[in-house]
A and B are shown apart, each in its own frame.
Chain A
Amino acid sequence: MDLNYSQEESAFRDEIRGWLKANLPQDLRDKMANHQELSRDDLLRWHKILAKKGWVAPAWPKEWGGTGWNVVQRYIFEEECGYAGTPPIVSFSMHMCGPVLLRFGTEAQKKKFLPRMYNGEDFWCQGYSEPGSGSDLASLKTKAERQGDHYIVNGQKIWTTLGHYGDWIFCLVRTDATLSKRQEGISFLLIDMKTPGITVRPLVLMDQYREVNEVFFDNVKVPAENLVYEEGKGWTVAKYLLGHERMNTGRIGASKRELAKLKDFAAKQPGDDGQPLIEDARFRDRLTRLEVELMALEITNLRFLDQMRRSGQPPGADVSMLKIKGTEIQQGLTELSMQAVGPLAQPFRPVANDPDFDQFTAGLAPRYCNFRKTTIYAGSNEIQRNIISKMTLGL
C-alpha cells in the first residue's frame, strides 16, 4: 500500500496549479473569493479560457477535445480548480449532456452540439424535476407528442439552475403515458430555449439570489432529430447521466479552500476571552472534526479513483457516499464559519467591498442559507442513502 501521489502526479499537480495561478483573471478570482454572483459572461469567459488551453473537457474522448488524462489526473485537476477558486465549469453541458451525446447521440447530434459546447457558445440547462416529481423522478408528466417530424411539448420543469442564462435545455419528457412501467414511456429531448412557447420564471431562494427557475412549455415545437437515443429509452440515458453527476459532488478542493480560510480567520478572530478563537478548545475540536471528515472523504475518494483506474469500471452505487459526506462537510464549514464570526454574522447582505466587513464575513449569512440546498439537490441525501441501501446492501 502506498497512499502517496507518484512523482509524475505531483509534477502534474504543480503544472495545473501554476497555470491556474497565471491564468485565472483577477476579477473572477475576487468574485469567487467574495462569493459574488457570477454572470453568464463570467462563467463562459472562464470556460473559453479553459477551452483555449484544451482543458475544458478532460473526460471527453481525445477526438472531441478530451485531454487523455486518467481518472487520478482528472481528479487532481478538479481539486486544484476548487482550491484555486475558479468559477465552476458549466456542468450541464460538460459533465452531463456532453457525455450523454458521446454515449448515445447520433453522429449528426455530436457534430452539431459537441463543438459548440466545447467552445462555450451555448449555455445548457437541465430539465428534469417537476413540481410533483422530485425524488420520484420517474413520475414526471411533461408530455411530448409526436406530430410528423416534430414533438409538441407541454408541461413544466422546476429547479432549473441558471435557466435564465440558458440557450439549450435537455429534458426528460413523457412520450407514452399508457405503459404500466412508468420508466418506459420517458424520452430524452434537446430543446432550443428560444423556441416559442417557453417561459422561464425565477424562483427566489431564501438567500435572495436568482439561481433556480421554473420553465414552462406551452405547445413547444421540437424537431424529432433532437431526440437522443430511442423514444422511450430516456430513463436509460438519465441513469447513465446521474452516475456522472454524482462523481463531481465531493467538492474536496473547494472545501479545502474554505477550511483554510476558516482556520486563517479563527487565528485572527478573538474569542470570548480575547485569545484567538482557534486557541479555544471547544472551537478547535469542532474545526478538527471537520478537517478529519474532509481527510476521510479525500482518502475514500482516492480509493474509488484507484479502483477505477485499475478496473476501468465506475465505482457504482457507492459513489453516493461521496455526495453525502461532501455536502455534509460543505454545510459543516458554512455553519462553523457562522459560529466563528459570531454576533457580526447577522447582517444579511453586507457589500463585499464594504470596509466594515472583512472578506470572510461578507456574504456569509446568505451562503449559509444557500448551502442548505446541497443536501437536497442532485438526488437528495435521503435518495443517496436509498441507493446504497438498495444497490450495495441489497436491503
Chain B
Amino acid sequence: MNFDYNEEQQLLADSVRRFLAKDYAFEARKKIVASKEGWSAGIWAQLAEMGLTGLPFSPDHGGFGGGAVDLMGVMEAAGDALLVEPYLPTLMGGLLVARAGSVAQKKAILPALVEGKLKLAFAHTEKGARYNLAKVEATAKKAAAGWEITGDKRVVLGAPAADKLVVSAKTEKGLSLFVVDSKDTKIKPYVTLDEQRAGDVVLKGAKGELLGAEGGALPAIEEVVDFATALVCAEAVGAMKFACDTTLEYLKTRKQFGVPIGTFQALQHRMVDMYIAHEQARSMACLACSKVDANADAKERARAVSAAKIKISDNARLISQESVQLHGGMGMTEELKVSHTFRRLTVIAQQFGDADHHLARFAELDRA
C-alpha cells in the first residue's frame, strides 16, 4: 500500500503548481475571467506545452498514456488556482473519442488535441434529464453523407471555446455519440456560477459523424463521466485546501475583542471540522482516481466514484459555506479569493451529480 504520488507524478504536480502560482495568481485570473472569451489562449498553450492536454491519451497520438492518478496533482493545482480554461471538457471529449472512435477518428482528433490546437466539449445534458446519463431526447437521422442531429443541449461546459462537440443523440438503435463541428450548431454562451464559460447548444439537422457503435454509447459515456467525476473530486481537494488554509490564516490574524478570533473555542471546533472534511475528501478522491484507473468492472468503479462524490459534495458544501462564514463580511466580497473558491466548490457539489443522486446510485449498485 502506498498513497504517495510517484516521482514523475510529484514532479508534474509541482511544476503545474509553480506555473499557476506564477502566471495564474488571483489578479491575473481576474483579468482572464473578465475578458471577452473568459479563458486565455496563452495559458492554454502553456498547459499544452507542459504536456497536460496529452496526459491521458495514448503515446500513439502524442500523449503520455496516463490515468486519473497521474492527473490528480494537476487537478488539485487547478482547484487551488481556480483554473477556468476548458481543460476538463476537452479531456472528456478526447476520452470519448479515444474510447469509442475509429482509428481514423482518433488520428483526426487526438494528435491536434494533445498539441493544444483543438478544444472539445461534451454536449450531453438536456432540460429535464437532470443527472440521468441515459436520458437523451436529441435525435440523429441518417443522411446522404453521415448523420443529421437535432436537439437542445444545456449548460455545455466549454462549448463557447470548443472547435468540435461530442454530442449524444438517439437513433433507431438507441443512444449514440457523434462528432459535430461547433460552427454547425448555434451556441448561446454565458458565464457560470464558478466563472467558467458554458453554453446552450441548439442543433437543427447539424452534420454529425458517428462515434463508436450505433446505439451502444452508454457504457462509454458512463466510463468517461466517472473518470471526469474522479478528476473533479481531485480538483475539489485543491480548492478545499485553499479554503481551509486561508480561513485558518484569517482566524489567526483577524482580531476582535482584543484577541485573534481563532482563540474562540466555538470557532476552533468549526475550523477543525473543516480540516477533517478536507482530509476525508482527499481520501475519497484517492479512492475514486485509483478505481477508475484499475480497470475494475464497471460496477466496482461506479460504486467507488459515487461514494467519493457523496463525500466530496457534502464536504464541498460544508467547507465553502464555513469558509465564508468564518471570514464574516469580507468572505462575501468579490475582492477576496475565498468567495470565488466558494463558487467553484458550490458547482463541484452538483457537477456530475449531487450527493442525493450518488446516494441513490450507490444504494442501487449495492442492491443489484
- A: residues with CB less than 8 A from B are 129, 132-136, 139, 158-159, 203-206, 208, 212, 269-274, 280, 282-283, 286, 335, 338-339, 342-350, 356, 365, 368-369, 372-373, 375-377, 380, 382, 385
Contacts and interface: CB of A to CB of B under 8 A. Distances in A.
B301 interface: no
Contact of B332 (A338, A339, A349, A372): A372
Contact of B135 (A274, A372, A385): A274
A282 B360 contact: yes
A159 B334 contact: no
A151 B344 CA distance: 47
B350 A369 contact: no
B328 A282 contact: no
B350 A376 contact: no
B76 to A, nearest CB: 22
A156 to B, nearest CB: 14
B170 to A, nearest CB: 15
Given A272-B132, A369-B342, A385-B266, A343 B334 contact: no
Contacts of B127: 344
A141 to B, nearest CB: 13
Contacts of A385: 266
A345 B130 contact: no
A218 B128 CA distance: 56
A346 B130 contact: no
B357 interface: yes
Which DSSP category, helix, strand, loop or mixed, fits chain B's interface?
Answer: mixed
Contacts of B343: 206, 369
Contacts of A280: 356
B192 A347 contact: yes
Contacts of B195: 348
Given A283-B356, A346-B347, A350-B190, A135 B135 contact: no
Best-surrounded residue of B193, B257, B343, B354 (most CB of chain A within 10 A):
B193
B350 to A, nearest CB: 7
Given A136-B256, A206-B342, A345 B350 contact: yes
Contact of A339 (B325, B331, B350): B350
B192 A344 contact: no
B59 to A, nearest CB: 35
A203 B130 CA distance: 36
Given A282-B360, A376-B328, A347 B132 contact: no
B200 interface: yes
Nearest to B199: A347
B329 A343 contact: no
B334 A205 contact: yes
Contacts of A135: 256-257, 261, 328
B334 A346 contact: no
Which 8 A-B pairs have CB atoms at the shortest separation, nearest pair first? A136-B256, A206-B339, A365-B193, A204-B334, A272-B132, A346-B192, A282-B356, A136-B257
A89 B2 CA distance: 61
Contacts of B356: 280, 282-283, 286, 339
Contacts of A208: 334
A283 B346 CA distance: 18
Contacts of B188: 356
7 contacts: A158-B329, A159-B329, A271-B130, A339-B354, A342-B350, A376-B325, A376-B328
Interface string B209-227: 0000000000000000000
Contact of A343 (B154, B191, B258, B340): B154
A372 B258 CA distance: 26
A343 B193 contact: no
B346 to A, nearest CB: 7
A385 B193 CA distance: 32
A134 B256 contact: yes
A358 to B, nearest CB: 10
B190 A376 contact: no
Contacts of A350: 190
B306 to A, nearest CB: 13
Q: Give the bracket for the number of chain B residues in contact with chain A.
A: 35 or more
Nearest to A204: B334
B125 interface: yes
B131 A272 contact: yes
Contacts of A283: 356
Contacts of A368: 346
A203 B154 contact: no
B324 interface: yes
Interface string B333-363: 1110001101100110010001011011000
B246 interface: no
Contacts of B256: 133-136, 139
A382 B130 CA distance: 37
Contacts of B154: 343-344
B155 interface: yes
B327 to A, nearest CB: 9
B333 A382 contact: no
Contacts of B171: none
B198 interface: yes
Contacts of B108: none
A204 B130 CA distance: 32
Given A346-B193, A375-B325, A376-B324, 4 more contacts: A282-B360, A346-B192, A346-B347, A348-B193
B365 interface: no
Most buried by A among B190, B332, B350: B332
Contact of A345 (B193, B255, B325, B340): B193
B9 interface: no
Interface in B126-149: 127-128, 130-132, 135
Contacts of B347: 346
B132 A346 contact: no
B132 A273 contact: yes
Contacts of B339: 205-206, 369
B16 to A, nearest CB: 26
Contacts of B354: 339, 342
B266 A382 contact: yes
Contact of B155 (A132, A136, A347, A380): A347
A343 B192 contact: no
B350 A343 contact: yes
A78 B342 CA distance: 33
